[in-house]
Amino acid sequence: MAGAAAAGGQGWSSRTAFILAAVGAAVGLGNIWRFPTLAGENGGGAFVLVYIAFVVLLGLPLVLSEILLGRAGGEDAIGSVENVAVKSNRSRNWRGLGALQITSGFLILSFYSVVAGWVINYVFISGGDFFGSLFAGDPFSVAFSGESQDAITGRMGELFADPGRLILLHALFMAATIGIVASGVHDGIEKAATWLMPAFFVLLVIVTIYGAFKGNFEDALAFLFTPDFSKLTPTVLNEALGQALFSLSLAAGGLLTYGAYVGKDVNLAPTAGMIALADTTVAILAGLMIFPIVFAVGLDPAGGPALIFQTLPVAFNAMPGGALVGFVFFILIFFAALTSSISLLEGPTAWVIDRFGWTRKKSAFIVGLVAFLIGVACALGYNVWSDIRPLGFWGIFAEADILDTLDGFTGKIMLPLGALLVAVFVGWKADRRLVESESGLSGGMFAFWRFLVAWAAPVAVSLVLLFGLIPGLLGD
C-alpha cells in the first residue's frame, strides 16, 4: 500500500498496520479503567446498553467520518480539515475544528499520562510481589500476601501523597510515549502497535478466563447485562456519550491524523467497523474480566476510579494465583495505555511538524514536554494542591480536583463539541462526492450513514450536551 505523504512523508505499511494502530489508539485506559468504573457507578446494564447504542449509532459513523476527513485532507488534523473545506468551497475557518480536536487530544494526553503512571506503579508493586513469591518457591500465591485489606487499599493513598513518585512515574510514561512518536509513523507507532496489541489481547483473554473460572461470573453477567432504567438520568446519558467518544478516540485529533497516513486503496467503511467493534468488545471483556473478580470476594462494583487500583488488588489478594494474575493485569493495562497515548501525542506533533517545519524528534519532544508539565499540575492536585478546584464555580465541576476537571471538561464538553462539528462538517458542508468516494459506501448504505452523521449525531450530541450541562449549571 502506498502510504500517504502527510507529516514528514510517512504512512502505514499495510491496512493491518493501520487497523492495529487505530485499535491501539482506541483501546486504552478508557476501556479498562473508565468503562467498568462508569458502568459500576451508573447501575451496570442500563449504562452498558446506552453506551452500545451510542457507539453503533453515533460513534461508528463518526469514526468513519474522521478517518475519511484525514485521508481526504492528507495532512495534520488542522491542515486536513482546511484542505477538505477548500476542496468543498467552504470557509478555511473550518480548520478550527481540527484545532479544537488537537487541543482536546493534547489536554487528554497530559492527564492520561499521570493515570498511566499509577498503572506503572502497580506494575512495579505486583511485579515485585510476583517475583518475590516466585523466588520463595510459591509462584501461585496470592498477591500482596500477608497484607491487610487496609494496607492494600492504603497503597493508593501513599502514592497520591507522594508528589515526587507521581511525577517520576508520569515522566517515565511520557518519555516512553515521546520515544515512540519521535521514531516515526512506521518505525515507532506502527511497530509499537504491532507488538503491543497482540500481546495485549492474549493477556486480556488469559485474565478473563481466570475470572470466569475463579471468580463470580454469573453475578458479573447479571450486573453488566440487566438494565435498571431508573438509573438513566441526563447526567448518565452525558457520561455514556462522553465515554463512547473518548473510548473510540473521537474528536481528539488522533483518528484524523492517523487517517492521513492511510493509503487510497484501503476501503474505509469496513475498517472503521473493525475499529469500533474491537474497541467495544474490549470494553465489555474488561467488564467481564474485572467484575467476576470483584464479586468473588464480595467487593463493591461502584468503587469509582479506585476500582482497578484498590478493589482489584484486594481481590487478587484473596484469590489463588493472584500474584501472577495481578502482575499480568497491570502489564496489559500499561500496553493499552501506551498505544493510546502515542496517538494522543501524534496529533499535535504532526501539526507542529507541518506548521513549524521542525523535525519529528524535536516536535514530539517539545509537545510531550508541555503536556508533561500540565500533567505535573494534575499530579500535584492529589497532594500539595489538593484544595484547588479549577472550575469550582461550575456545578458539575464543583468537586473536581485538577485531573478530574481536565478529564471532565474534555470528556463532557470538548469531545462532544468536536464530534458535533465533525458531524456538521462531514454531513452538511464537505463535498458530497468527495465524501462518498472516500467513504467506500454507496447507495442505501451511504444514504443511511450520511443520515446518521448529518441528523442523528448532531441532534443527539446537542441534546446530551445541553441536558447534561444544564442540570450541572444549576448545581445538579
Within 10 angstroms of residue 209's Cβ, the number of other Cβ atoms is 11
Torsion, CA 385, CA 391, CA 396, CA 402, rounded to 10: -30
Q: Which of 3, 11, 30, 292 binds ligand PFF (CB under 6 A)?
A: 30
Residues β-bridged to residue 6: 10
The 3-state DSSP class for residue 260 equals: coil
What is the rounded CA–CA span in Å between residue 291 and residue 299? Answer: 9
29 binds ligand PFF (CB under 6 A): yes
Q: Which of 108, 159, 189, 421 binds ligand PFF (CB under 6 A)?
A: 108
- The letter for the amino acid at 279 is D
105 binds ligand PFF (CB under 6 A): yes
Q: Of 351, 324, 311, which Cα lies nearest the Cα of 155?
A: 311
DSSP-assigned letters across all residues of 54-111: HIIIIIHHHHHHHHHHHHHH-SSHHHHHHHHHHHTT--GGGHHHHHHHHHHHHHHHHH
Q: Which of 247, 271, 310, 349 binds ligand PFF (CB under 6 A)?
A: 247
Residues β-bridged to residue 220: none
26 binds ligand PFF (CB under 6 A): yes
The smaller minimum CB distance to ligand PFF, of residues 417 and 441, is found at 417
20 binds ligand PFF (CB under 6 A): no
- The letter for the amino acid at 143 is A
Q: Which of 7, 25, 152, 272 binds ligand PFF (CB under 6 A)?
A: 25
Give the shortest CB-300-to-ligand PFF separation in angstroms: 23
CA 107 from centroid of its chain's CA atoms = 13
The 3-state DSSP class for residue 10 equals: strand
Residue 121 in grid coordinates:
506503579
Size of the site for ligand PFF (CB under 6 A): 16
Q: Which of 126, 238, 249, 311 binds ligand PFF (CB under 6 A)?
A: 249
Interface mask toward ligand PFF for 344-373; x: CB under 6 A:
x-----------------------------
User: Would you report the helix, strand and coil content of the chain in percent, each value rounded to 5?
Assistant: 80, 0, 20
The smaller minimum CB distance to ligand PFF, of residues 14 and 103, is found at 103
Which 54-93 residues touch ligand PFF, going by CB under 6 A? none
The smaller minimum CB distance to ligand PFF, of residues 28 and 326, is found at 28
Stretch binding ligand PFF (CB under 6 A), from 16-24, 161-169, 336-344, 450-458: 336-344
The smaller minimum CB distance to ligand PFF, of residues 123 and 142, is found at 123
Q: Which of 340, 349, 363, 439 binds ligand PFF (CB under 6 A)?
A: 340
Binding site for ligand PFF (CB under 6 A): 25-26, 28-31, 105, 108, 246-247, 249, 252, 254, 340, 343-344
